[in-house]
Amino acid sequence: MAQIKHVAIIMDGNGRWANQRFRPRIWGHVRGSAVVSEIVQSADELGIKALTLYAFSTENWSRPLEEVSTLFKLLKKFLQKEKQKILANNIKFKVIGDIQNLPVDTLSLIKEIEELTENSNGLNLTFAFSYGGRAEILRAINLFQSSHPGVEMTEADLSSLMYRPEAGDVDLMIRTGGDQRISNFLLWQMAYAELYFTPTKWPDFTAGEFKKIIQNVSSRERRFGNVSVQNGLVDSVERAESNKASFLKGINS
């Protein structure tokens, strides 16, 4: 069974969920934020090592101001409400994205929880807020260029300069809400992710469905370009390198 260590979720469908009920989109976000805690707990119980949740994208800044400010308020409320649970469950928490422009009180709450959980060894929980995958890659390239001028960058260098390198590559990306796209989420880390799209809108998503998805995907064969299951992408890449070397030696001799 393929081990799923890092799960990433695009929590989509809040607005449509509310519209179907003749309520404002904002109501969908309020109901959606109530689901987050249940899924975090479930991920922890299922033994998942890292969970990254897409809460607000760089593109979401273009939404009506009232909606944007509701999403900010919900983030703060979530942090206030969940802080004790995060600490009690030994969760290691981090927010990734361009968060400098968040309200100062939210920012200091984020920093406080990040610092308090710095040495936790439980679930790696990441909130992607004001996050864009392209922006994350560009930031990493610029950081590398300024510290290593003129040096050619490797894949390992780029991976190590992501916002949260310890979360590693994404094994499974789930998107709720029925759309089948990745909307600028974790572009670098998702190179070999399994993808799962469910029509369930985020406010209706449950720990039960989450568990079923994990079970379903765990039985998929992940080949990483190989012909049969190996121990993972790293093993496959190493074998590819040695095969390539032997092959080229053969044709050149």
User: Catalytic pick from 12, 14, 124, 171?
Assistant: 12
Which of ligand IPE, Mg ion, none does residue 200 bind to, with CB < 5 to 8 Å depending on kind? none
What distance in Å separates the CA atoms of residue 189 and residue 6, rounded to the nearest whole number? Answer: 10
What distance in Å separates the CA atoms of residue 183 and residue 241, rounded to the nearest whole number? Answer: 32
Of residues 14 and 117, the one with the C-beta less far from ligand IPE: 14
- Residue number with the smallest Cβ distance to ligand IPE: 15
Stretch touching Mg ion by CB under 5 A, among 7-15, 36-44, 162-170, 218-226? 7-15
What is the SS3 assignment for 57?
A: strand
Clarify whether 216 is annotated catalytic: no
What distance in Å separates the CA atoms of residue 150 and residue 153, rounded to the nearest whole number? Answer: 9
In whole angstroms, the minimum distance from the beta carbon of 183 to ligand IPE comes to: 4
Stretch touching Mg ion by CB under 5 A, among 4-12, 158-166, 191-199, 235-243? 4-12
Q: Identify the burial level of 204 via C-beta atoms within 10 angstroms of its C-beta, where 0-12 means exposed, 13-18 middle and 19 or more buried.
A: middle
Clarify whether 231 is annotated catalytic: no
What distance in Å separates the CA atoms of residue 233 and residue 220, rounded to the nearest whole number? Answer: 15
What distance in Å separates the CA atoms of residue 139 and residue 133, rounded to the nearest whole number? Answer: 10
The site map against Mg ion for 8-27 (x = CB under 5 A) is ----x---------------
Please give the residue ranges that form the binding site for ligand IPE (CB under 6 A): 10-16, 54-57, 59-60, 71, 177, 179, 181, 183
